[in-house]
Amino acid sequence: MSAALTRRAALSGAVASVAIVGAAAATTMPVTTGCPAFAWLMRAYDAAEQRFHAQDRDLEIRDPAKFEAEVELMIAASQRADEAVPTTWREYAELFEHMVDDGDSALSELNANRLRAHTRRLAKMEG
């Protein structure tokens, strides 16, 4: 099995497991209106991820430069989404799901700090 295929399979497996957990968390959140900017950043990352997965399976071997460019586009979109500011608990759950979707299901220290700050802010907004 090629390294590209193995990496893609590992990423897909992590995405599926985190999506199930995140979907369960999101369904328990009260329905409130969110922020259009937040939704735009999350959808932009989703589009970049879909674009990456739509590439030919042998792209990494056939055209390493294009493969790396696609990876960089996806990473840049992911980093912009990491900086999204949730305005509702539903958005918070979506951001959490996004942040742990890195193949290892581990948060960076920066993203953990961001989530703590968002938790405090959202809890304070509730009163």
Mean pLDDT across 25-50: 75
52: closest CA among 41, 62, 60?
A: 60
pTM, full prediction: 0.67
Provide the mean pLDDT of the chain. 78
pLDDT digits over 74-123, tens only? 999 999 999 999 999 999 999 998 998 755 566 889 999 999 999 999 99
Distance of CA 98 to the CA centre of its chain: 3
Give the type of residue at 60: E
80: closest CA among 121, 107, 40?
A: 40
**Rounded Cα gap, residues 122 and 119, in angstroms:** 5
Full domain range(s) for residue 27: 3-126
Total structural domains in the chain?
1
